[in-house]
Amino acid sequence: MSPSGASPPIVLVPVGSDEGALDACLAALDAGTPAGTRVWLADNAQSGPRGGALIDGWLARTRLQAAYTRRATPVSEAAHLDEALRACGKANVAILSHDSRPLPGWLDALSGCFEREALIATATPWCNAGETAAWPRVGDIELELPSPQRLADACRQLPAEAPGLPAAVAHAVLLRGDACEAAGGLDAVSFRSWPVALADLSLRLEGLGWRNVLCPSAFVLRDGESVPGNGDMDALAARWPNWNARIAGFLMDDPLRALREQLSTVLAGDSRQSPQLDLFPGVA
């Protein structure tokens, strides 16, 4: 599924130095993404020899239309992603953290959000370590979860509504290319880390009339939250003085509580139908 008249999004994976996390990410990406999807593994001079061999092996066997590039020297995380996004032009791009594991149907679900509402500029899936987009509890990390397939099936039973988020979250996000270009892209001068640069971009998009939303029918697994760069949160608060109060208000008001509880209810009903509660330690 892709927005009418638009090409399917490009999946952009910033390659990290953790080979185990990258291996799990690529395996999940290959299993849960439509064959032929364009994928770009963008390496900010992070991978070592083992990582390079892992990537070569995955490229040789993947069903996806994948490519790999590596910078000769590293730049900041935000600068690296801004460089990649500019190379993609007006294309819609799904950025997937190298330590995330997307569940089946994730990309179709995110694309469906764009198709249903033209004002959505960023669509973020659920995540067990997703900060404001976290399930089963907002702002928390949960590592004991139902099996990926059960969780994916349950998400598909949720309403198609796309509730707003204060900003997109960096475990995975689909960006509308023309909207991001109109907003000026990522600010790689003021921010070094991708999660904070994404929050700033989200706020600029909102100021231009676009929406940052949760996609309830998509889920991406992760073992931990993103870490902001030194000084980045201070720079974000200086540019957007109400940011900290807005996040605090969102966490306290918890406007996604009913939707999270609905997902829990669907999963509880599914577990009653099957006596085998398929759990996997550490979401490995």
The count of domains in the chain is 1
In a domain, 84, yes or no: yes
Per residue in 175-214, pLDDT (tens digit) is 999 999 999 999 999 999 999 999 999 999 999 999 999 9
Predicted confidence at residue 4, as pLDDT, reads 43
Q: How many alpha carbons fall within 13 Å on the CB side of residue 214?
A: 26
SS3 39: strand
pTM of the model as a whole: 0.92
Q: Is residue 281 part of a domain?
A: no
Q: How far is CA 6 from CA 90, 109, 178, in A?
A: 10, 15, 11
| 262 falls within a domain | yes
Residue among 101, 100, 116, 81 at smallest CA distance from 10: 81
Element spanning 217, H or E: strand 211-222
Residue 201: name the closest of 131, 126, 121, 129 by CA.
Answer: 121
- Answer whether residue 3 shows pLDDT above 60: no
Domain that holds residue 36: 10-275
Task: Please report whether residue 2 resides in a domain.
Answer: no
pLDDT at 221 over 50: yes
Task: Specify if 194 maps to a domain.
Answer: yes
pLDDT in tens, 99-113: 999 999 999 999 999
CA terminus-to-terminus distance, the chain: 28
In the three-class reduction of DSSP (H, G, I as helix; E, B as strand; rest coil), residue 213 is classed as: strand
Q: What's 179's domain CATH number?
A: 3.90.550.10
38 lies in some domain: yes
Tracing tokens 């070592």 back to the chain, one arrives at 48
Average pLDDT estimate for 53-67:
98
**Residue 237 falls inside a structural domain:** yes
Percent of the chain with pLDDT over 70: 93
Question: Does 94 reside within a domain?
Answer: yes
